[in-house]
Chain A
Amino acid sequence: MIGEDKFLVVALVMAIIFSGLAVYLYLLDRKLSKIEKKQQELLANKQEGK
């Protein structure tokens, strides 16, 4: 029983660490999307200016 508890703790800790990495990836992805959008708007404005 004690052994099974330890397995659960390991699974939980690994899941939390992985969730942290997943959130980091998601935030990075979202940040990039925002910058890409801004970049596209800038390019569009430049082309309109010409």
Chain B
Amino acid sequence: MIKGIWWKVAGLLLILYSIIYGILVEVPVLPVIHQTIRNLFFHVPMWFAMFIMLGTSLVYSIKYLSSLKLKDDLIAAQAVNTGLFFGLLGLMTGMIWAKFTWGDFWTNDPQLNGAAVSVMAYLAYSILRGSIDEKALRARVSAVYNIFAFMLLVIFLGILPRLADSSLHPGKGGNSSTMGDLDPTMRMVFYPAAIGWILIAFWILDIRKRKRILELQQQP
């Protein structure tokens, strides 16, 4: 984990900047989307943070399988919990955005359904962990499942929506990507926002990990 306090402060400042400047900056006026384009500064960074957290979890699960150190399993589990938190925030911000642009909170879209399936795959990870009492067995089974769940995430969020014939979502189903056509002024907000939320995700992971370690030390 990263040492020092600078990265936590940097994360907070970057997000504060993205909130204030993101709401006040001039955005290109696009049909249908209009001013809701500003949600890009909040919705997409949530998925970035989730991906990074679940990727971190995958790394620690693989690390656990090679080292069998329970601390690696603990970090993997807490990274999944943090990733799930950001995934649910991503779903919520997406649903609100969809309501204002597509007219409904949920549409039968490959990207939306893929996101829901991926989040459910990781909820299943948490349930799986909760169902096994023996520590070493729980760690080994959940580490293996975590590798499988990450593959599902890549397939359902990264591959299948791109192969779909039709999708309302930008960048999917043959639509142009919002990221590729992003206005330079919006890039000045979007990238700091993404980096800021990723740093905050690591801070939350750090807090969760330390809290869990303390709880385990208190146990007889």
Question: CB within 8 Å of B: which residues of A?
Answer: 7-8, 10-11, 14-15, 18-19, 22, 25-26, 28-29, 32, 35-36, 39
- Residue B19 interfacial (CB < 8 Å): yes
Given A18-B15, A19-B16, A22-B12 in contact, is the A11-B24 Cβ separation under 8 Å? yes
- Contact call B12/A32, Cβ cutoff below 8 A: no
Bound-state CA distance A25–B15 (Å) is 14
- Contact call A15/B204, Cβ cutoff below 8 A: no
Bound-state CA distance A36–B206 (Å) is 13
- Contact call B207/A25, Cβ cutoff below 8 A: yes
- Contact call A7/B23, Cβ cutoff below 8 A: yes
A5 to nearest B CB, angstroms? 11
- Residue B20 interfacial (CB < 8 Å): yes
Q: How large is the interface on B (under 10, 10 to 19, 20 to 34, 35 or more residues)?
A: 10 to 19
Instruction: Point out the residues of chain A lying under 8 angstroms from B19, CB to CB.
Output: 11, 14-15, 18
The total number of A-B Cβ pairs within 8 Å is: 40
Mark out the residues of chain B between 47 and 99 whose CB falls within 8 Å of any chain A CB in the assembled complex: none
A10 to nearest B CB, angstroms? 5
A15 to nearest B CB, angstroms? 5
- Residue B131 interfacial (CB < 8 Å): no
Question: CB within 8 Å of A: which residues of B?
Answer: 8, 12, 15-16, 19-20, 23-24, 200, 203-204, 206-207, 210-211, 214, 217
Bound-state CA distance A22–B16 (Å) is 10
9 nearest A-B residue pairs (beta carbon)? A11-B23, A14-B19, A22-B12, A11-B20, A32-B210, A15-B19, A10-B23, A7-B23, A15-B20
Interface centre among B19, B206, B207 (most CB of A within 10 A): B19
- Contact call A25/B204, Cβ cutoff below 8 A: yes
B89 to nearest A CB, angstroms? 12
Out of A18, A25, A26, A39, which one reaches B214, CB within 8 Å?
Answer: A39
- Contact call B16/A32, Cβ cutoff below 8 A: no
Bound-state CA distance A35–B74 (Å) is 19
B1 to nearest A CB, angstroms? 12
Instruction: Point out the residues of chain B lying under 8 angstroms from A10, CB to CB.
Output: 23
> Which partner residue on chain B sits nearest A32 by CB separation?
B210
Given A32-B210, A32-B211, A36-B214 in contact, is the A8-B12 Cβ separation under 8 Å? no
Bound-state CA distance A22–B9 (Å) is 10
Instruction: Point out the residues of chain A lying under 8 angstroms from B20, CB to CB.
Output: 11, 15
B29 to nearest A CB, angstroms? 13
